[in-house]
Amino acid sequence: MIEKVEGIVVSEVDYKESSKIINVLSPQYGVIGIIAKGTKKVNNNLSSVSSKLTYGYFHVKYNSKGLSTLLEVDVIDKFKNIKRDISLMSYALYLLELADRVYKHDNDKQIYELLIASLKKIDEGYDYKVIANIFELKMLDFLGIRPVVDECVNCGSKHDIVTISSYKGGYLCKDCARGEVIVNIKTIKLLRMFYYVDISKITKLDISDKIKNELSQFIYDYYDRYSGIYLKSRDFIKNLEKISS
């Protein structure tokens, strides 16, 4: 049966001598494994459309029980700007890996929609680190470890929220904060806004470096503490940033 599957390549592995298997995250079927034949040969028409980040309609000989076979791809968006810049590309690859991992945990098609919306924003030139943070925050829901950003995580008070704690799992009010680092009030508000914002509707991200650092610090600590996720692409970003800083 020939099927046209909308999706994005989230990972790829070599297969036999000259082919590869791509894993495509799709809203219809979740992650499907597709053989792309002969992609390592020169002049193969599938080689340019079977690498990570390829986003389009995949025409496949569909096999619900095993690997499908790739026939051709109609690319929807080439993400040209992302591909031109190693920093953007490293974050895009990280989001792909994270989405793939989160999907294994909870196969919700919103993960796909959030991934595509985030990649589009990065490609349009929005701050890629902030977009990645927003995506990471939203993924916490699907991992079943959402932080408490509506009230104090300890006592439930909605008033006098003075800081955030990855250790406690979210907001802390002035009565419950016990020696935690006090973050900027803007960081507290933005954390909640990021958690609820519709990524596709973002039109402006004007955030100081200090606030950005506080936000990403919280999110990374939170992931380290509760997600149990280790991603190679995240390590790659860390090393890349060490070199360039």
The contact set with Zn ion (CB under 5 A) reads 152, 154-155, 157, 173, 176
Pick 56 or 147: Cβ nearer Zn ion: 147
CB of 187 to Zn ion, least distance (A): 18
Per the DSSP assignment, residues forming a β-bridge with 60 are 3, 70
CB of 152 to Zn ion, least distance (A): 3
CB of 192 to Zn ion, least distance (A): 16
Pick 54 or 163: Cβ nearer Zn ion: 163
Q: Which residues of 140-155 are buried (b: 16+ CB within 10 A; e: fewer)?
A: bbbbeeebbbeebbbe
Pick 50 or 154: Cβ nearer Zn ion: 154
Pick 7 or 170: Cβ nearer Zn ion: 170
The span from the first CA to the last CA of the chain, in angstroms, equals 52
CB of 202 to Zn ion, least distance (A): 31
- Please name which of 215, 227, 229 lies closest in space to residue 146, comparing C-alpha atoms: 227
Helix 185-196 crosses helix 128-142 at what angle (to 10 degrees)?
60
H-run or E-run covering 202: none
